[in-house]
């Protein structure tokens, strides 16, 4: 009989978490033998680790935590530059390679491996099966069942686990120094986790010294300069947020008026 291994790659974010709960309810025969795996860079936010512990309790299933061969500081000294959108060596070295090695080790004892990924139906353009082969197959249950963002929120609320705490001040999961963060999120990191912001600032300054060139986490400003202009960026964010809320309210009122007049 052909042996099958089922794995769900957890990021500590809302989508992959909701997928685990979705599979428990809708795919119980697979969930029973499903292994939850988290690629731990050891640079995730404290809220992420708290959420992972919470997931284990709610699902009654232990999460396997795999770690890269080298930590971020060691890799930073090897590369000599900060990771960026153009050179995402952090993702490759600390997550992709680690996960691939984990799968390769499984191939030695399993005939077929199914990897379940939390990509939603409303972002199906991200689906990529190019890595599939005779042994490893990727599966996207949310795409198959037409689950969108609103459904994900409902799943998490219905099960009572809610969202990771970092969503109160940040829009995405990932390392504390993620270069995809908005400027306001960097400032929020400074507020919520000043020690981690300080470490990110030190990496930035160290990189500049090592290479004799300007490398920054943000594309157009250093963290030191960001601190100096903190009031400006916070006010800019407040104004943008106000305009966004006003626009949503205007559309809501217009839609309600249209309904009354039809």
Q: Identify whether residues 156 and 27 lie together within a single domain.
A: yes
Would 173 be classed as within a structural domain? Answer: no
Q: Which residue has the tokens 């157009």?
A: 220
Q: Identify whether residues 161 and 200 lie together within a single domain.
A: no
Q: Identify whether residues 94 and 34 lie together within a single domain.
A: yes
Q: Which domain holds residue 125?
A: 4-168
CA 177 to chain centre: 12
Q: Identify whether residues 52 and 148 lie together within a single domain.
A: yes
CATH number at residue 146: 3.40.50.620
Q: Identify whether residues 93 and 205 lie together within a single domain.
A: no
Q: Identify whether residues 160 and 197 lie together within a single domain.
A: no
Out of 117, 138, 168, a domain closes at 168
Q: Identify whether residues 121 and 239 lie together within a single domain.
A: no
Would 175 be classed as within a structural domain? Answer: no
> How many domains is the chain built from?
2
Would 174 be classed as within a structural domain? Answer: no
| pTM tops 0.85, yes or no | yes
Burial tier of 197 (Cβ tally within 10 Å: 0-12, 13-18, 19+): buried
Q: What is the pLDDT of residue 256?
A: 39
Q: Identify whether residues 137 and 110 lie together within a single domain.
A: yes
Q: Identify whether residues 255 and 232 lie together within a single domain.
A: yes
C-alpha separations of 100 from 33, 137, 211 in Å? 20, 13, 31
Would 257 be classed as within a structural domain? Answer: yes
Burial tier of 246 (Cβ tally within 10 Å: 0-12, 13-18, 19+): exposed
Q: Which residue has the tokens 């500081």?
A: 73
Q: Identify whether residues 150 and 207 lie together within a single domain.
A: no
Out of 137, 168, 199, a domain closes at 168
Out of 142, 168, 194, a domain closes at 168
- The set of residues, in sequence order, having a beta carbon less than 8 Å from that of 204 and lying 6+ positions away, is 82, 215, 216, 217, 222, 223, 224
Q: What is the pLDDT of residue 57?
A: 97
Task: Give the pairing of strands 4-10 and 112-116.
Answer: parallel
**234: its two tokens:** 């916070």
**10: its two tokens:** 């957890």
- Full pLDDT tens readout for the chain, 262 residues: 568 899 999 999 999 999 999 999 999 999 999 999 999 999 999 999 999 999 999 999 999 999 999 999 999 988 888 998 888 999 999 999 999 999 988 887 667 899 999 999 999 889 887 777 888 999 999 999 999 999 999 999 999 999 999 999 999 889 999 999 999 999 999 999 999 999 999 999 887 666 666 789 998 899 999 999 999 999 999 998 887 655 554 454 455 344 444 4
């Amino acid at each position: 009989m052909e042996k099958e291994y089922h794995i769900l790659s957890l990021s500590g974010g809302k989508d992959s978490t909701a997928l685990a709960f979705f599979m428990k309810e809708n795919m119980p025969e697979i969930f029973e033998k499903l292994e939850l795996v988290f690629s731990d860079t050891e640079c995730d936010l404290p809220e992420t680790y708290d959420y992972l512990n919470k997931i284990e309790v709610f699902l009654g299933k232990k999460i396997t935590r795999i770690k890269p061969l080298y930590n971020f500081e060691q890799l930073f000294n090897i590369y000599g530059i900060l990771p960026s959108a153009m050179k995402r060596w952090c993702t490759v070295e600390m997550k992709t390679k680690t996960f691939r090695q984990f799968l390769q080790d499984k191939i030695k004892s399993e005939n077929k491996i199914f990897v379940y990924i939390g990509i939603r139906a409303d972002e199906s353009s991200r689906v990529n099966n190019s890595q599939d082969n005779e042994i490893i197959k990727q599966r996207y249950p949310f795409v198959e069942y037409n689950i969108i963002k609103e459904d994900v929120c409902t799943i998490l609320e219905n099960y009572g686990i809610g969202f990771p705490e970092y969503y109160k001040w940040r829009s995405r999961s990932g390392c504390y120094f993620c270069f995809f963060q908005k400027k306001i999120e960097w400032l929020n990191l400074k507020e919520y986790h000043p020690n981690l912001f300080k470490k990110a600032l030190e990496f930035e300054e160290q990189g500049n010294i090592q290479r004799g060139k300007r490398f920054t986490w943000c594309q157009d400003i250093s963290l030191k300069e960001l601190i100096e202009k903190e009031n400006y960026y916070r006010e800019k964010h407040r104004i943008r947020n106000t305009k966004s809320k006003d626009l949503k309210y205007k559309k809501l009122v217009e839609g309600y008026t249209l309904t009354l007049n039809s």
